[in-house]
Chain A
């Protein structure tokens, strides 16, 4: 059974760096074809794909946020970490991690974690 769970601070101040951890079970990120993505959703708004890390450590970022994002994995801990620098109130959102199903699609999701950016 594949499960994913996001964790991190619920509140960050403007200009701070956000660090989110996705802890998963039911698969190994060292298995060929596996990848984990981060997606966010501001309250009442649409989904926005942020980043992806593949089993072979290839990394992909949405171009508009590329300079602020870093994704990494710890295969031994079954974790993927996303950092986002220089947080702003517009970054307030529910952040999800998700594993691929068929290539590129997001078949398994965590429950999401709400991050509020406020001073």
Chain B
């Protein structure tokens, strides 16, 4: 398995803040990295694929970057609907998820 490590585990922020979440892979996965948003009791929603490609219908305030072993998800201006848990997923070798980052209201 390729282990994925997200940081931070929890992030407290206010509406309008710029938020950055980091995901590190134990070995290079090129750009085979996706980001998901999950709200309580709901299935995850795909936000970003291939490290930086925005899934159709996802607001442009979400962006992704990185390659190799280090990746980031950025929310440029946090909105009330964005308070949720975010997961990275590598799909370069089988598939593994990070442990999640909960974005909560400050």
Contact surface of A with B, Cβ cutoff 8 Å: 37, 46-49, 52, 60-64, 96, 98, 101-107, 109-112
Given contacts A46-B87, A46-B100, A49-B95, contact A63 B1 (CB under 8 A): yes
Task: Report how far A34 CA is from B35 CA in the complex, Å.
Answer: 20
Given contacts A46-B97, A46-B98, contact A111 B43 (CB under 8 A): yes
Task: Report how far A98 CA is from B45 CA in the complex, Å.
Answer: 11
CB distance from A65 to the nearest CB of B (A): 11
Chain B 34-50 interface mask (CB, 8 Å, partner A; 1/0): 10101000011110011
Besides the known contacts A63-B1, A106-B34, 13 further A-B residue pairs in the complex with CB atoms under 8 A apart: A47-B36, A96-B43, A102-B50, A102-B53, A104-B91, A104-B92, A105-B34, A105-B89, A106-B46, A107-B55, A109-B45, A110-B43, A112-B43
Partner of A105, one of B38, B49, B94, B99: B49
A-B pairs with CB below 8 Å: how many? Answer: 61
Task: Report how far A60 CA is from B43 CA in the complex, Å.
Answer: 22
Partner of B89, one of A49, A61, A62: A49
CB distance from A104 to the nearest CB of B (A): 3
Partner of B97, one of A47, A101, A109: A47
Given contacts A46-B98, A49-B97, A63-B1, contact A107 B87 (CB under 8 A): no
Given contacts A104-B95, A105-B49, contact A62 B36 (CB under 8 A): no
